[in-house]
C-alpha cells in the first residue's frame, strides 16, 4: 500500500509499504480520508527523528473496517468510523474518569500514543488501530468525518472545559481561524450563547469565521486587545481560545481576558503568557482568570463532535487532495493558504 512517511527530520516520502498486520484486539481500517493538522507541520520542523524507522503521518483518520482482530466484539467488516487519537491505557484513574487525553500511563508528558506521532498514522491506504479507538460515524462523509478526530475533538474539549464562562451575555475570543479555529467558532455557536469575536492575520479567515457564526472579526495587530476591551465594557472576554499559541497571541490573551475568565492555550507555538503575581489594573493578568494548556480531548468529546456533525450543526470546510499531493497540501497549509481543513484521500 502507499503511505506518506517521515523518513528523516523534515523529509517526507510517499512509499510503498506492507499492509500492517493486526493483533487480536485491533481493527484494520481502509482509510477513507486523513486530515492534515498544523501539528504535522510542527512534526516536520522537529530537527530529530521521532522514531528509528519511517513513520506514517496522519492523526485525523476516518475509514471502513476491513479486518477484525479475533478478540474484538461488536464490530463488522464495512463499519464506518473515525479514529479516537488518544490510544490511552483505559484502566488508570484518569482514563476511568473519562480523561483519556491525560492518561497516567503516558507519564508527565500526558500524551498517550497517538497515530502518526508514535504508531503509524492514517496518511496511507490502511491503518491498524486498537478496536477501542473506533467511533462510528453512520453515513457521514469521510472527508467531513476525518477532521472531527482532532480539529473538532480538541476545540470541543477546550470549549467544554470553559463552559462555565460561556453564559448568555459572555464573549468568547477565537484566535486563529484555521482548521481548529473555524470548527471552534461553530461549536461555540452551536453549544453556547456566547458572542464570538474571531482574530486572525488574514482577512479571508475572518470572513470564514463570520460565515460560521462569529459576530465580528478583528485583524491581529497592536490594537486588538483594546478593541476587545472596547466591545466588552472594558472588562474583557470571558473566554479566550488561542489556536496559535505564539508570544503575540499569548500577550493578546493576557491583555483581553476578563477577571475570572478562561484562557485556553491550544496552539503549539511555544508562546509564554506573562502571568504575574501582582494586582493587575491595566493590561496585566486579571484576578481569578485561569489558564489551561489544553491537549486533545476525551472520547466523549469526539462522540459529541460526531453528533454535532451528523445533526448538520458542524460543517468542516475541507479542501480535498490526493495522497500523492500531500506535500503540496502541507506547503499550502504552511503558507496560510488552506481554507478550513486540508484532507487527503488515499
Ligand atoms: P492552521 O494552520 O489551520 O490555522 C492557524 C490559523 O492561525 C491560521 O488561520 C492563521 O492565519 C492564524 N494565525 C497565524 N498566526 C496568527 C497570529 N499571530 N494571530 C492570529 N492568527 C494567526 O492550524 P490548525 O491545524 O488549526 O492548528 C492550530 C494550532 O493548534 C497549531 O499550533 C497546532 O499544532 C495546534 N494543535 C494543538 C492541539 C492540542 O491538542 N493542543 C491539537 C491540534 C492542533
Ligand atoms: Zn490511562
Please give the chain's pLDDT, 346 residues, in tens. Answer: 999 999 999 899 999 999 999 999 999 999 999 999 999 999 998 888 888 899 999 999 999 999 999 999 999 999 999 999 999 999 999 999 999 999 999 889 888 999 999 999 999 999 999 999 999 999 999 999 999 999 999 999 999 999 999 999 999 999 999 999 999 999 999 999 999 999 999 999 999 999 999 999 999 999 999 999 999 999 999 999 999 999 999 999 999 999 999 999 999 999 999 998 877 677 899 999 999 999 999 999 999 999 999 999 999 999 999 999 999 999 999 999 999 999 999 9
Q: Is 36 in the pocket of ligand 1 (CB under 6 A)?
A: no
CB–CB of 115/129 below 8 Å?
yes
Q: Is 180 in the pocket of ligand 1 (CB under 6 A)?
A: yes
Ligand 2 center to 146 CA (angstroms):
24
Closest C-alpha to ligand 1, atom 38: 266
Q: Is 40 in the pocket of ligand 1 (CB under 6 A)?
A: no
The residues pairing with 34 across neighbouring beta strands, listed in sequence order, are 61, 344
> Which of 34, 35, 36, 38 is the best mutation target for the ligand 1 pocket, counting ligand atoms within 8 Å of the beta carbon and taking the most?
38
Torsions phi, psi for 249 (to 5 deg): -80, -30
> Which of 34, 37, 85, 116 is the best mutation target for the ligand 1 pocket, counting ligand atoms within 8 Å of the beta carbon and taking the most?
37
Closest C-alpha to ligand 1, atom 27: 38
Closest C-alpha to ligand 1, atom 35: 267
Closest C-alpha to ligand 1, atom 3: 178
CATH class of 162-293: alpha beta
Nearest to 249, CA basis, from 219, 280, 273: 273
Residues, Cβ < 5 Å to ion ligand 2? 88-89, 92, 95, 103, 105
Strands (E), the chain: 2-8, 11-16, 26-36, 55-56, 60-68, 80-83, 126-130, 134-136, 171-175, 195-200, 216-219, 237-242, 257-265, 290-293, 318-322, 341-345
> Which of 39, 155, 250, 296 is the best mutation target for the ligand 1 pocket, counting ligand atoms within 8 Å of the beta carbon and taking the most?
39
Ligand 2 center to 300 CA (angstroms):
15
- What residue ranges do the domains of the chain occupy? 2-150+296-345, 162-293
Ligand 1 center to 66 CA (angstroms):
33
Tell me if domain 2-150+296-345 and domain 162-293 are identical in fold: no
CB–CB of 172/198 below 8 Å?
no
Helical pair 247-256 and 224-231, crossing angle rounded to 10 deg: 30
Q: Is 46 in the pocket of ligand 1 (CB under 6 A)?
A: no
Q: Is 104 in the pocket of ligand 1 (CB under 6 A)?
A: no
pLDDT, position 3: 98
Q: Is 246 in the pocket of ligand 1 (CB under 6 A)?
A: yes
Q: Is 178 in the pocket of ligand 1 (CB under 6 A)?
A: yes
The residues pairing with 284 across neighbouring beta strands, listed in sequence order, are none
Please name the CATH architecture into which domain 2-150+296-345 falls: Alpha-Beta Complex (3.90)
Ligand 1 center to 179 CA (angstroms):
7
Where does residue 327 fall: left (phi above 0), alpha (psi -120 to 50 degrees), or beta otherwise?
alpha
Helical pair 38-45 and 326-334, crossing angle rounded to 10 deg: 90
- Burial of 79 per CB tally in 10 Å (0-12, 13-18, 19+): middle
Amino acid at each position: 500500500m502507499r503511505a506518506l512517511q517521515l523518513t528523516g527530520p523534515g523529509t517526507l516520502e510517499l512509499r510503498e509499504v506492507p499492509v500492517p498486520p493486526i493483533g487480536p484486539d485491533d481493527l484494520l481500517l481502509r482509510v477513507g480520508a486523513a486530515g492534515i493538522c498544523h501539528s504535522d507541520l510542527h512534526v516536520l520542523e522537529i530537527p530529530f527523528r521521532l522514531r528509528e524507522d519511517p513513520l506514517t503521518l496522519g492523526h485525523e483518520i476516518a475509514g471502513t473496517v476491513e479486518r477484525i482482530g479475533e478478540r474484538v466484539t461488536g464490530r463488522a467488516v464495512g463499519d464506518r468510523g473515525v479514529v479516537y487519537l488518544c490510544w490511552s491505557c483505559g484502566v488508570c484513574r484518569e482514563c476511568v474518569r473519562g480523561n483519556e487525553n491525560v492518561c497516567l500511563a503516558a507519564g508527565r508528558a500526558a500524551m498517550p500514543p497517538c497515530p502518526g506521532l508514535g504508531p503509524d498514522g492514517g496518511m496511507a491506504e490502511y491503518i491498524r488501530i486498537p478496536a477501542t479507538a473506533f467511533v462510528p460515524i453512520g453515513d457521514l462523509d469521510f472527508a467531513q468525518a476525518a477532521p472531527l478526530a482532532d480539529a473538532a475533538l480538541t476545540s470541543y474539549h477546550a470549549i467544554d472545559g470553559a463552559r462555565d464562562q460561556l453564559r448568555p451575555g459572555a464573549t468568547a475570543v477565537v484566535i486563529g481561524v484555521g482548521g481548529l479555529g473555524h470548527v471552534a467558532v461553530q461549536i461555540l455557536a452551536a453549544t453556547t450563547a456566547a458572542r464570538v469575536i474571531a482574530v486572525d492575520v488574514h482577512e479571508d479567515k475572518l470572513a470564514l469565521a463570520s460565515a460560521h457564526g462569529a459576530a465580528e472579526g478583528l485583524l491581529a495587530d497592536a490594537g486588538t486587545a483594546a478593541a476587545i476591551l472596547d466591545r466588552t465594557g472594558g472588562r474583557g472576554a470571558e473566554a479566550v481560545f488561542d489556536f496559535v499559541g505564539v508570544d503575540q497571541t499569548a500577550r493578546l490573551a493576557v491583555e483581553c481576558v476578563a477577571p475570572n475568565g478562561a484562557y485556553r492555550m491550544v496552539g503549539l507555538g511555544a508562546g509564554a503568557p506573562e502571568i504575574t503575581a501582582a494586582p493587575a489594573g491595566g493590561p496585566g493578568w486579571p484576578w481569578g482568570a485561569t489558564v489551561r494548556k489544553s491537549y486533545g480531548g476525551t472520547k466523549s468529546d469526539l462522540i459529541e463532535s460526531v453528533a454535532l456533525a451528523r445533526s448538520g450543526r458542524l460543517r468542516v470546510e475541507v479542501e480535498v487532495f490526493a495522497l500523492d499531493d500531500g506535500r503540496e497540501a502541507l506547503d499550502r497549509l504552511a503558507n496560510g493558504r488552506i481554507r478550513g481543513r486540508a484532507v487527503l484521500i488515499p
